Structure 1
Amino acid sequence: MIRGVQSMKKNEMSVQSELRDSKKGRNRFSIVTASMLVISVAVLTSGCSGEKKEGESASPSAAASTTVPAALPDGKIVSSPLTLSYFVQLSTNRPSGMNSLNDMEAYKELEKITGIHADFKHPTAGQEANQFNLMLSSGDYPDVIEWNWNSYPGGGQNALKNGAIIKLNDYIDKYAPNLKKLLDANPEIRKQISTDSGEIYSFPFIRNDPYLLTYYGLTLRKDWLDKLKLEVPTTIEEWHTVLKAFKEKDPNGNGKPDEIPLLFQKGKMNWGNDILNAWGIRNDFYLDTATGKVQYGALQPQFKEFLTTMRSWFKEGLIDPDYAATDDKQKNAKVTGDLVGATEVTVGGGIGTYLAAMNGKHPTFDLVGAPYPTLKKGDKPALGQQEPIFNGLGAAISKNNKHIIETVKWLDYKYGEKGAMLFNFGIDGKSYTMDNGYPKYSDDVMKNKDGLAFGVALTKYAIPFGAPISQDKRYMEQNAALPQQKNALTTWMKADNRGWLPTLSLTADESSKLAAVMTDVRTYNDEMFDKFIMGAEPIESFDKFVDRLNKMGLQDVLKIEQAAYDRYLKR
């Protein structure tokens, strides 16, 4: 019996930065434990029918096309119009009036080129997980399902086992030359998109450049630092000095003690790890690179040291006393209200948005990205923010698809040179122009006359942050075009990220056990975090806190994580 669990955020990975906001990460465990959803009748039926051997993946429908379509003189995939149904979320970061991806110029052009029309099935915003599960329970699968398969119980490998989607390895080898070329040239990509047994279940969203994997970090008011003659802090001690100066020396110059030295939001400070990584751990699962063992941050003695420091900062008034109740709208108001000295941001939706909002309103307002802090001067920061090459988002072909070969060719088009240009940059002459071989976004994207943000304006033409696609570095270079953005990305990338775990595959049983334990663990950890920081719980109670986490079953979950990581290494 499989218990369906799913939760989808925002944003992001959105312009990539917005999607990523939502993804902080966006982490597979926060997704899995976010909500326990309905049982999927279709999954249960196929998984318990007894007609398919254990571990055997779904075979294509007998009615599916297995004959290779003849080559067509005009380059089309089909000789007569073909419609494929396609389930995919529709980003909220889109122009007004755009109600379907069929309204996007890239998909209009793709239909002209290939002869294939996509009948998009967009779930209602806020109801994505429920409608995904209802779709599965109905057994009425669309031809293509684009989803973050890490949030499917047991991951993509279990969706294969349960018969919802089909194995793609042979189809990729025979009919997807663009993706095959990419995988052959990049074994690490193949490793990340495969299951532990080597099966490929989706056409993936890929970011294969370090510049694309980091988008988030700490920023400070550079004009405040300059006014107080302070340098960008690099250690916890230097951070304390800067924050204390922000509080006491009236850097906003209004004669009032109203500055908020450091603002973190609920759900981001305790899971974002922007300060905690100075102690070399995360408040989540991570890899101890010295031992090769998976650990959980809240169990470590360093976590107590971190809490002690944060408690001291909070008591001194260096952390916003209302951080636990501050939402995005309130945070934006505080930052643009000239009150916040330091906070965590994305490079696009944070630095870019704030600089644009204050342009012409505050003549000296400026931001600077800060390195992830360390305890000792000169040490390299550890565990900065970094996404995996493949985060689980992919377009899978359902078992009900009767035009598999045509679908494979259609999806593969995006990985080719022309398809990659089309979906990363849009239409030549409209959304971009070539300048000495470099695709430069047009003013309609970069300086939209209606005031649309970069990511929103671009979505009219292209979608370089969905599946299937290999994202182009030149997209991010222009998304983060301001000097402050470029410098922040360069700074945030300078971290030792070997302790980040790759995307792991869990069996259905492991996924169910993990979800059952981690839902309670995260709730308790979250509650105690605030109590420790605010002084409602004495730091001396830390050992009792750890003991309770272990009694909740956290050690059993660590064994599951370790087993999954060991399997990953053997892929």
Structure 2
Amino acid sequence: MKEEDVMNKRSLPLLLLAIAITAAAASGCKDTTAERSGSGEEGEAAVKAKVSPYPAALSYWVPMNANVAATMDSFAEIGVYREMERLTGTKVDFQHSPMGQDKDQFHLMIASGKLPDVIEYSWSGVTKGPDNAIKENRIIRLNELVEKFAPNLSKVLRDNPEFRQLVLSDEGNLYMFPSFTPDPGSLVYNGLAIRQDWLDRLGLPMPATLPEWERTLTAFRDMDPNGNGRKDEIPLLLDLKVMNTGHALIGAYGITTGFYNDSGEVKYGPVDPRFKELLIVMNRWYKEGLIDKDYATVDQKLKDAKMTEGIVGAMAMNIGYGIGTYTSAMAQVDPDFRLEGAPYPSLEPGGTSIGQMAYSFNGRGAAISASAENPEKIVRWLDYAYGEAGQLLFNFGIEGESYTLKDGYPTFSDTVVNNSGKLGVGYAMTRYARGAFAGPYISDKRFNEQYMSMPQQTRAVAVWSKADHARLLPPLTQNSAESVKITAMMNDIQAYYEDRVNKFIMGVEPLEQFDNFTASIRRMGIDEVLRMKQAALDRFMKR
């Protein structure tokens, strides 16, 4: 489509939207200043002045995203928020915590009581829970405000009762504007990926069981699959945090490295005897050089460097920042480079494994602080993202710049898809929209269809989707008393777990000490945590 055609198509929707906003300001969506002033002269003056239904300015705290940080300093630079300012007149002061300090900065901010107008965070993991944040006058209950001033979100919740069950707290509070992903195909995004070109070069099949993986990794170690004549290959680059997220390898034993749902009963994988079986395998792989010897100290930057150096054979990764990023980065460096998603390995042929699958709501959303002025205006501003125009804006950015409508289908422009920068298409999309990462809007599956533009990405999702997802826990809400206890106990348990697991894998701690390991976790209170998690699951099922 020619540029002038794009601009002509763009002008009419924007004109209609401007008319709609003006009409809304003059009619039902009048300013609350006028409402509170009654029918007096001051109220009439406000109505005549057509005061905007949106706030003139607001402060907005949100953790910095890695995709954004790669090319921008603030969310204010993203096209979606530049356009939101143009459409609504609202100037947003974004406040970001430094990368990696989100949790600490959030709790310091909440404790201080000096709060911005909007706080976007993963509220399901907040100490004492969101209900207590309402009781302590940190954020406000939104049920009535959303019903009155947020027609778009109200419709979404009415039309999708399963979303409402996920979003409401145990006490029935709607406490934030949620991040929704309705499309099941967009909820699977993590799993093991392997160098298919190495498999082809060595004449090996795709491994599907743990024994097959061991034989494959051994071949990667011994048979010079990268063809440089040096024994520099890292068969498997292990990342325990990613394994915790996606359950790669551990899922073969029917457990996870955290909490999971066993037919309605909450259980904790690391105290299960089957966890020791995994550690025995990991310890053997580490001793035999099948796992990167430095895996415990490798950060994201080092992982990227090792992958793009062409020495890693397999790693658990995401579909975007993973298969997409590395494939794009290696396209010119090594034309033979080919990553493919591998099945979640089972113990035996034809067996099953727990895999990664997110829920349509993961606990993240934008709450309004109790200190915010004109919360009804902020509600209207946040609600914009849940309407048809807002869904296009938040997922695809600015029409005519980052996307065009082709037969009604929002199609990313060459500026995004054919981005020549080495960061890849995901970063290019992030310069314009929030589709590449969660936020207070509804994820559009048409974004994912283009985000996964590479056939190997589509194939990976299809393969990873075959894993067992029945044992994954929904996002649970702990009450205030439970949350304080769980946070205190799990901080100690998790630190102990990570320290001991690495020592077991690297052989620093003998596996004969596994029973002492599980006994220590029980002394630290895991059984009480399980009791409280079980209570939360029971409450969730009764919502």
Per the normalisation by structure 1, the TM-score is 0.82
Residue number in structure 1 paired with 2:14:
none
8 A Cα contact 2:54 2:377, kept in partner: no
Instruction: Specify the SS of the correspondent of 1:220.
Output: strand
Residue number in structure 1 paired with 2:494:
522
Indicate which of 153, 161, 164 corresponds to 2:127: 153
Alignment of 1:127-138 (within 5 A): 127-138=101-112
8 A Cα contact 1:270 1:529, kept in partner: no
Indicate which of 148, 151, 159 corresponds to 1:174: 148
* Letter matched to residue 494 of structure 2: R
Identify if the C-alpha distance between structure 1 residues 64 and 492 changes in structure 2 by more than 3 Å, giving closer, same or farther: farther
Give, in whole Å, the separation in 1 of the partners of 2:73 and 2:163.
Answer: 33
Identify if the C-alpha distance between structure 1 residues 463 and 236 changes in structure 2 by more than 3 Å, giving closer, same or farther: same
Query: Is 2:224 the counterpart of 1:253?
Result: no
Residue number in structure 2 paired with 1:563:
535
Residue number in structure 1 paired with 2:189:
215
Query: Is 2:428 the counterpart of 1:453?
Result: no
* Letter matched to residue 183 of structure 1: L
1:135-174 residue CA offsets vs partner (Å, 9 max, x unmatched):
4344333322222212321222221121111111122222
Identify if the C-alpha distance between structure 1 residues 67 and 486 changes in structure 2 by more than 3 Å, giving closer, same or farther: farther
Query: Is 2:370 the counterpart of 1:399?
Result: yes
Residue number in structure 2 paired with 1:46:
none
8 A Cα contact 1:521 1:552, kept in partner: yes
Structure 2 spans left out of the alignment, 5+ residues: 1-31
Residue number in structure 1 paired with 2:248:
274
Instruction: Specify the SS of the correspondent of 1:361.
Output: coil
Alignment of 1:488-507 (within 5 A): 488-507=460-479
Cα displacement (A) at 1:531: 2.2
Alignment of 1:57-96 (within 5 A): 78=52, 82-94=56-68
Give, in whole Å, the separation in 2 of the partners of 1:454 and 1:409.
Answer: 32
Instruction: Specify the SS of the correspondent of 2:322.
Output: helix
Indicate which of 88, 105, 108 corresponds to 1:114: 88
Cα displacement (A) at 1:324: 1.6
Indicate which of 93, 104, 113 corresponds to 2:78: 104
Per the normalisation by structure 2, the TM-score is 0.86
8 A Cα contact 2:262 2:471, kept in partner: yes
Give, in whole Å, the separation in 1 of the partners of 2:244 and 2:384.
Answer: 41
* Letter matched to residue 277 of structure 1: G
Identify if the C-alpha distance between structure 1 residues 66 and 377 changes in structure 2 by more than 3 Å, giving closer, same or farther: farther
Cα displacement (A) at 1:373: 0.9
Identify if the C-alpha distance between structure 1 residues 67 and 521 changes in structure 2 by more than 3 Å, giving closer, same or farther: farther
Instruction: Specify the SS of the correspondent of 2:60.
Output: strand
Cα displacement (A) at 1:258: 2.5
1:349-382 residue CA offsets vs partner (Å, 9 max, x unmatched):
1111211222122232111100111112122332
Residue number in structure 2 paired with 1:332:
304
Indicate which of 505, 518, 525 corresponds to 1:533: 505
Identify if the C-alpha distance between structure 1 residues 559 and 110 changes in structure 2 by more than 3 Å, giving closer, same or farther: same
Query: Is 2:396 the counterpart of 1:422?
Result: no
Cα displacement (A) at 1:423: 1.0
Residue number in structure 1 paired with 2:239:
265
Give, in whole Å, the separation in 2 of the partners of 1:419 and 1:528.
Answer: 47
Identify if the C-alpha distance between structure 1 residues 366 and 91 changes in structure 2 by more than 3 Å, giving closer, same or farther: same
8 A Cα contact 1:244 1:318, kept in partner: yes
Q: Please, which moves more after superposition, 192-201 or 352-361?
A: 352-361
* Letter matched to residue 303 of structure 1: F
8 A Cα contact 1:271 1:284, kept in partner: no
Cα displacement (A) at 1:219: 0.8
Query: Is 2:434 the counterpart of 1:463?
Result: yes
Give, in whole Å, the separation in 1 of the partners of 2:439 and 2:35.
Answer: 23
Give, in whole Å, the separation in 2 of the partners of 1:548 and 1:271.
Answer: 24
Cα displacement (A) at 1:299: 0.9
Cα displacement (A) at 1:73: 12
Identify if the C-alpha distance between structure 1 residues 315 and 86 changes in structure 2 by more than 3 Å, giving closer, same or farther: closer
Cα displacement (A) at 1:189: 0.8
Residue number in structure 2 paired with 1:479:
451
Cα displacement (A) at 1:125: 4.5
* Letter matched to residue 87 of structure 2: I
Instruction: Specify the SS of the correspondent of 1:343.
Output: strand
* Letter matched to residue 416 of structure 1: G
Identify if the C-alpha distance between structure 1 residues 385 and 413 changes in structure 2 by more than 3 Å, giving closer, same or farther: same
Instruction: Specify the SS of the correspondent of 1:348.
Output: coil
Give, in whole Å, the separation in 1 of the partners of 2:400 and 2:273.
Answer: 58
Identify if the C-alpha distance between structure 1 residues 65 and 258 changes in structure 2 by more than 3 Å, giving closer, same or farther: farther
Residue number in structure 1 paired with 2:412:
441
Structure 1 spans left out of the alignment, 5+ residues: 1-61
Identify if the C-alpha distance between structure 1 residues 281 and 116 changes in structure 2 by more than 3 Å, giving closer, same or farther: same
Identify if the C-alpha distance between structure 1 residues 171 and 77 changes in structure 2 by more than 3 Å, giving closer, same or farther: farther
Query: Is 2:216 the counterpart of 1:206?
Result: no
Alignment of 1:385-396 (within 5 A): 385-396=356-367
CA RMSD of aligned residues (A): 2.7
Give, in whole Å, the separation in 2 of the partners of 1:249 and 1:390.
Answer: 45
Q: Please, which moves more after superposition, 252-261 or 168-177?
A: 252-261
Identify if the C-alpha distance between structure 1 residues 168 and 79 changes in structure 2 by more than 3 Å, giving closer, same or farther: closer
8 A Cα contact 1:147 1:394, kept in partner: yes
Identify if the C-alpha distance between structure 1 residues 256 and 273 changes in structure 2 by more than 3 Å, giving closer, same or farther: same
Indicate which of 162, 168, 174 corresponds to 1:194: 168
* Letter matched to residue 304 of structure 1: K
Identify if the C-alpha distance between structure 1 residues 468 and 77 changes in structure 2 by more than 3 Å, giving closer, same or farther: farther
Cα displacement (A) at 1:65: 6.8
8 A Cα contact 2:197 2:336, kept in partner: yes
Give, in whole Å, the separation in 2 of the partners of 1:97 and 1:236.
Answer: 40
Which runs of at least 4 in structure 1 moved beyond 6 Å after TM superposition? Answer: 62-70
8 A Cα contact 2:55 2:381, kept in partner: no
Give, in whole Å, the separation in 2 of the partners of 1:235 and 1:64.
Answer: 67
Give, in whole Å, the separation in 2 of the partners of 1:503 and 1:67.
Answer: 43
* Letter matched to residue 387 of structure 1: A
Q: How many residues align?
A: 505
* Letter matched to residue 502 of structure 1: P
Give, in whole Å, the separation in 2 of the partners of 1:81 and 1:366.
Answer: 49
Cα displacement (A) at 1:523: 1.8
Indicate which of 221, 232, 238 corresponds to 2:212: 238
Indicate which of 259, 262, 268 corresponds to 1:285: 259
Query: Is 2:526 the counterpart of 1:554?
Result: yes
Identify if the C-alpha distance between structure 1 residues 306 and 202 changes in structure 2 by more than 3 Å, giving closer, same or farther: same
8 A Cα contact 2:55 2:374, kept in partner: no
Q: Please, which moves more after superposition, 484-493 or 140-149?
A: 140-149
Give, in whole Å, the separation in 1 of the partners of 2:59 and 2:343.
Answer: 45
Query: Is 2:382 the counterpart of 1:408?
Result: no
